[in-house]
Amino acid sequence: MAPPKNRRPGFSRKAQYSIFATYVLAIAGAIIGALLLLISILDPKGFSALRIVGAEASAPIGRFFNSIRRTAVDSSENISYYWDAASKNKAMNRKIEELKKENLELRITKLENKRLKLFIGNIQNEQLKIISTGRLISTSATSGRRLAIMSVKSTQNMVAGQAVISDKGLIGRITEIGLTTARILLLTDTANVVPIIRLSDGLAAFATGNADGTLLIKPLDLGINPFQKGDILVTSGNGGLYPPNIPVATIIGKSGDSGLAKPLADPATTDYSSILEIYDPAANQEIEIIREEANLLDSSSAVP
Amino acid sequence: MSHKERFIRRKRRKSFPLFGSRSYQSRINRRHSQWRILFAPILSVLMGSLMTTLPFFSDLPILPPFGFMIFIAWRLLRPGMWPMWVGLPFGIFDDIFSGALFGSAALMWSIAMLVSEFIDSRIIWRDHILDWLIASIFIAIYIIASLLIISMIQVRPNLWLILPQIIFSIALYPLVVRFCAAVDNWRLRR
């Protein structure tokens, strides 16, 4: 394409100045962008109000296309049920007979477990307190951060830090709240750290996201890599944000000192997700107090 | 067919030129729609930025940055159409929806405007392949830089993570140009 005429000013002073002015404006724009970036690096939640307005305004698009997507998935599933129906039916009947036997054994072990628990005494067996439920309507699929937008009826009683779970396990936690939407930091984001234990023996570890759909599991005692493929990890309840015993991930491999794990809950296939109450608000308040004290110390040391 | 019907038919044919060899030419009493000329490209870029609000769930950053791609495609297709400061408002709009750090797109889109101005002064006559090459470099640098900016506040994800996104975006760029060219055709129709 030929260069545009308005970039060739000739001898016209006016044209030359106006080109110069556009350069100045463009550079000023870049500087403003850099300043905005600096502000958001210093205070990552600084522009949350703007993002919330954007999320609220664009949520209807997400809701609409999400309902279409769900219908498409459902109908294709329904059609696939009819495929090969007779032989499937036969196989299922056989399976049911086997499962009936297993079920009986399971019920016996369950009763035994109950008795043992009574024997041991107070083992955490609390009900999860669900504040509200909603649907994930979009994720930040272009960016290296793993965030999702959740659509809820109302955001009453919701605060940042509450855990979001699906029927399969932990999804993430809330970071920003609007009127009918909430922004969720997914489990797989590199900024999300979840205290976990191994279900089999209570080995304590931290799970951090790799931003590629896997989690890095760092055990508290370094040196040996104790993880085996297939280990199930659940939240420990430490730190006070996540309630204990929510399934988080299964180990799929090792990397150096740590284990690699795959989250049990997949945001793409979850229908509804629930928001849980913060497990131990007192723990959070303590952290806040410590933080404020540190700030006070900082400011007092800065003043000579 | 009555005279009146024939008149209406002729009028309709003129106002909706489908196979318009003459569709851009000046004809008496046929003027460009100023609204279309101004807003069609702007809306197309905003639409690209809004792609992240669609229910697209992925573990990886795999969705191409459509806002930036459409922006660059317009810039290379029609140099001088937009004032040079236009990267700032477009970038801020993209920042609201992208989930990246606020200000990162505002900064990078502004710089992209400045750099493409420099490219315009160096490589004056360009064809589609050269435009594709330039856009590929823009897109690759943009995606890598976004990841590096994110790593200023949190642990940096593995750089290999964005390779599929870069390849996917570069491969998709000609389609984006076709889209912009189609919008351009529609925009300049009389």
CATH (domain of B69):
1.10.1760
What is the residue whose two structure tokens read 């290999």? B160
Chain B CB contacts of A26 below 8 Å = 84-85, 87, 110, 113-114, 117
pLDDT band at A15 (very low <50, low <70, confident <90, very high): confident
pLDDT in tens, A67-93: 888 787 777 777 777 777 888 889 999
Q: Does A267 touch chain B (CB under 8 A)?
A: yes
- CA neighbor of A183 nearest in space, from A62, A279, A55, A59: A55
Chain B CB contacts of A147 below 8 Å = 99
pLDDT of residue B107: 95
Q: How far is CA B71 from the centre of its chain?
A: 3
A121: pLDDT strictly greater than 60: no
What is the residue whose two structure tokens read 């990890």? A233
Domains contained in chain B, number: 1
Of A61, A137, A144, the CB nearest to B146: A144
Burial of A223 (0-12, 13-18, 19+ CB in 10 A): exposed
Least confident of A56-70, A249-263, B23-37, B163-177: B23-37
Q: Do B158 and A25 touch (CB under 8 A)?
A: no
B70: pLDDT strictly greater than 90: yes
Average pLDDT, chain A: 83
Q: Does A58 touch chain B (CB under 8 A)?
A: yes
Of B110, B120, B158, the CB nearest to A33: B110
**Quick check: is B14 in a domain?**
no
* Residue B80 structural domain: 29-187
Give mean pLDDT, residues A289-299: 69
pLDDT of residue B170: 96
Report whether A219 contacts A202 (CB < 8 A).
no
The residue in chain A having the minimum alpha-carbon distance to the alpha carbon of residue B84 is A26
Residue A202's region, left for phi above 0, alpha for psi from -120 to 50, else beta, is left
Q: Which residue has the higher pLDDT, B71 or A156?
A: B71
What token pair was written down for A276? 């849980």
Least confident of A57-61, A179-183, B41-45, B62-66: A57-61
pLDDT in tens, B105-144: 999 999 999 999 889 888 888 889 999 999 999 999 999 9
Give mean pLDDT, residues A86-111: 88
B1: pLDDT strictly greater than 60: no
Q: Does B108 touch chain A (CB under 8 A)?
A: yes
C-alpha separations of A192 from A73, A185, B19 in Å:
30, 7, 56
Residue extents of the structural domains in chain A: 13-42, 59-120, 130-280
**Quick check: is B12 in a domain?**
no
Chain A CB contacts of B126 below 8 Å = 1
A1: pLDDT strictly greater than 60: no
Among residues of chain B, what percentage have pLDDT more than 90?
49
Give mean pLDDT, residues B50-62: 84
The residue in chain B having the minimum alpha-carbon distance to the alpha carbon of residue A209 is B157
Highest mean pLDDT among A9-23, A228-242, B68-82: B68-82
Highest mean pLDDT among A18-22, A286-290, B163-167: B163-167
> Which of A142, A192, A212 best tests the B interface by mutation, with the highest count of B CBs <10 A?
A142
**Quick check: is B23 in a domain?**
no
Q: Does A147 touch chain B (CB under 8 A)?
A: yes
The residue in chain B having the minimum alpha-carbon distance to the alpha carbon of residue A40 is B102
Residues A17, A63: Cα–Cα separation, whole Å:
49
pLDDT of residue B17: 47
B18: pLDDT strictly greater than 70: no
Give mean pLDDT, residues A278-282: 78
What token pair was written down for A162? 């509450």
A252: pLDDT strictly greater than 80: yes
Of B59, B125, B157, the CB nearest to A144: B157
Residues B41, B23: Cα–Cα separation, whole Å:
19
> Which of A143, A176, A183, A206 best tests the B interface by mutation, with the highest count of B CBs <10 A?
A143
What is the residue whose two structure tokens read 């459409």? B70
pLDDT band at A7 (very low <50, low <70, confident <90, very high): low
Least confident of A9-18, A160-169, B171-180: A9-18
Q: Do A44 and B162 touch (CB under 8 A)?
A: no
List A residues 10-49 in contact with B (Cβ-Cβ < 8 A).
Answer: 22-23, 25-30, 32-41, 44, 46-47
